[in-house]
Structure 1
Amino acid sequence: MTKKVKRYSEEFKAEAVKAIENNGGNVSATARQLGLPMQTLANWQRKANQGKLKGTKQYDPELVSALEEIKRLKRELKTAQEEREIFKKGHGVLCEERSVRYAFIDHHKTQFSITAMCKTFDIKPSSYYDWTKRDISAQQIHRNRCELLIKAAHSETKERYGYQRLHAHLSEQGHDVSKYMVRSIKEEYDIKCRRHKRFKVTTDSDHNKRVYPNLLKQQFGVNRPNCAWVSDITYIWTDEGWLYLAGVKDLYTKELVGYAIDKRMKADLACRALNKAIKDKRPSQGLIVHSDRGSQYCSDDYRTIISKYGFKGSMSAKGNCYDNAPIESFWGVLKNELVYHHHYKTRFEAINSIIKYIELDYNQVRIQQSLGMRSPRQVWVDFYRQAA
């Protein structure tokens, strides 16, 4: 059966090349973030440099050559630095018997390249690997069992948990695996969580509309649900074009209590997300509703909702994303765990995927370290159970 070749639009290729620039010219890291083969992305970059890719600018060949030379020198410098660090940590075992040097390599294989360590200690890599195949001890049997559990849990949690949350997940299932073991095995097998990439700027704060004062001032700790909400708008790419997602997050439960999705950045997008949150959570007067200074949040319709329900409007300082960090954090989680690992052909496909993630994964079952390894739903249930 012939494998279907995945095709990308010229617009997507141009955006991917721009992402390399935003990533400091790191093609490998950008390829991982976008879920692309590194060679494919490198080919697009080469075409862009030659002016053969629509939507990109041509670069001076001499500049490109100079950049390649810089990359080569950086690689050589990195290798030299690694060899120096290996020597600093392992100079005490240079004259020891081979088994001691093997043990050093095995202990530091997550920190340094095995090939580099073998070179430093004058050991053939094949000899080291033969040593690792010696008789298996009871401790190794336990470690092998833990490896299987950790890999299975990593897959079960959709590659979204770091070692601490993965440890909590395994403990909840009754498995006796230490935090150290989880971290060690994740490092040894390069078991990584899904990664972030840069965001598209969606805030239009260049306007003369009235703004609310900053009531939160980066103090995000609250003592109950529906005390303070934070809101923002982000973007999702599909083959049909952009989707814009407005969200409202509760600072106590960390739940996304309201959201709205549209193919255009409409003025009512923020209003629809807020109205959904109000309908579902029925908050009392005095609720702080925080946002950035985007024009959608400064509209008369949005201010009318704030006033109608007796809420307190609050806005970030101009250009300060840290004032709205909790909702920015959610966007990172959403894109890191879901969006960047899907190629949405249609907006409809993306909308279904996002709603399913919010309603069934994030709000209901995704545990968070800041919530004591509980999900937003469990925090909400625990609060009202204690209050009853």
Structure 2
Amino acid sequence: MEVRQRRSFTEDYKRQAVELVVSSGRSVMSVAKELGLRDSVLRRWVDKLRQEPASAAWRPTTQTTPMSADQASEIARLRQENERLRMERDILKKSIANLCRNPDMSFRFIEDHREAYPVRLMCAVLEVSPAGYYAWRERPVSARATSTAMLLAEIRQVHRDSGQRYGSPRVHAALRTQGRGASRGRIERLMRRHGIRAIMAPPRRVRTTDSRHNLPIAPNLIARDFTAAAPNRVWLADITYIPTAEGWLYLAAVMDLFSRKIVGWAMRDHMRVELVSSALSMALRQQRPGAGLIHHSDRGVQYASHDYRAVLAAAGLTASMSRKADCYDNAPMESFFHTLKTELVHHRQYQTRAQAQRDVFAFIEGFYNRTRLHSAIGYIPPIEMELKAA
């Protein structure tokens, strides 16, 4: 009988899990399900940390300012007016590319968005009559139109469940796993017609690799062969940055090349050796790899340092490093950081590092590792790929 390996968690992991409960107001059951934890385990962590002295790093504070009745009334009126203008703007923005003054297309747009905006407001903006719209609704619906409406609803649900991060390839893969036989081309056309697209953002770069040192450099044992026969044979490591109003938050991550799972991570306000060592320690504690595992990174001073090489040697890991200034030698890690930035970070404006830590933790442990369909492993989540090899 197969024995399931007991999971081991770092203090960083526990604290970030508690953050999701305390700061977001979500239930213990909801967060535990997202992270693949037992309710009782997460509840024990929450109770333990609540007994500790209050800490600004994780315990939220609230402030209220008295407001007069006139001020409250004016604010309510302005909010209502702003909401009406926002809806008009959104209606025009979403419809202008597709409608072209075609009544049928206008009516279809109204039908698709009737739960989001008032019907009469949409009719006024699109210059069609409410009576014409309701007459259009009463017409018999063809089998093809019914099928298309059902497929569109399923597409919207998958897109919504992914946090709007999925484009047509991943939506198609997700529907295929649910037994939906629609072609990728049809899904792509529907998504384009209805303005359903993956959230994206332009890249911003900050230098995180300092290879100008005289420390030992390990040979490149990967040579851009980004395949592994089983879990815990090859790990990739790298550092990235996340902007906040308090300054940069740096993220060090360790990826298992076989499953593309992030097996270790650490977040700090610095890029010293302790950052990458913490991420590696988490990976070693959770995965417990055997000797001979290849650890591949860039030539950064953190990875070449004596302290880091000592950790690798103690664990029986073999060091490998990319060529100088060649990001393609560590392409899967670059791809993960690109995903993190375009699907999360570039759509946020973090006031504090603690806010960014909560978001990144939820993305890695609750979405990327457990839910997100990964194209490099056949459009399944990394944790499913790992379990297949168990």
Q: Which whole-Å deviations, capped at 9, do the CAs of 1:124-148 have from their partners, x for residues lacking one?
A: x43x445886865321222122222
Aligned to 2:236: 230
Counterpart residue identity of residue 295, structure 2: V
- Partner residue, 2:260: 254
Q: Which digits, 9 at most, give the CA deviation of each residue in 1:249-294, with x for residues without a partner?
A: 0000100011111011122211111111111111111111000011
Q: For the residues of structure 2 that align with 1:220 and 1:145, how far apart are their CA atoms?
A: 39
Q: Distance in 2 between matches of 1:375 and 1:309?
A: 28
Q: Could you report, residue by residue, the CA deviation over 1:119-177 in whole angstroms, capped at 9, with x for unpaired residues?
A: xxxxxx43x44588686532122212222221122111111112122122123334443
* Larger relative contact order, structure 1 or 2 (CA cutoff 8 Å, min sep 6): 2
Moved more, 287-296 or 367-376: 367-376
Q: Residues 274-353 of structure 1 correspond to what in structure 2 (within 5 A)? A: 274-353=280-359
Q: Which moved more, 1:284-293 or 1:160-169?
A: 160-169
**Structure 1: segments with no counterpart, 5+ residues:** 6-111, 116-124
Deviation at 1:373, TM superposition (A): 2.0
Structure 2 residue matching 1:211: 3-state secondary structure? coil
> Does 2:224 align with 1:208?
no
Amino acid at match of 1:241: G
- The CA distance in 2 between the partners of 1:381 and 1:241, in whole Å, is 38
- TM-score computed with the length of structure 1 as normaliser: 0.65
Percent same amino acid at aligned positions? 38
Unaligned stretches of 5+ in structure 2?
A: 1-71, 79-95, 108-135
Structure 1 pair 130–211 and aligned structure 2 pair: CA distance change class (3 A): same
Q: 1: distance between equivalents of 2:345 and 2:194?
A: 25
Q: How far apart in 1 are the matches of 2:97 and 2:367?
A: 37
2:172 paired residue among 167, 179, 184: 167
Q: Which amino acid in the other structure matches residue 325 of structure 1?
A: A
Match of 2:195 in 1: 190
TM-score (norm 2): 0.64
1:375 to 378, 381, 386: 381
Q: How many residues align?
A: 269
Match of 2:160 in 1: 155
Partner Cα separation in structure 1 for residue 365 and residue 339 of structure 2 = 14
Tell me, what secondary structure is at the counterpart of 1:249?
Answer: strand
Distance 1:299 1:171, change over 3 A: same
Q: Distance in 1 between matches of 2:213 and 2:105?
A: 68
**SS of residue matched to 2:173:** helix
Aligned 8 A contact 2:98 2:193 in 1: no
Check if 1:144 corresponds to 2:149. yes
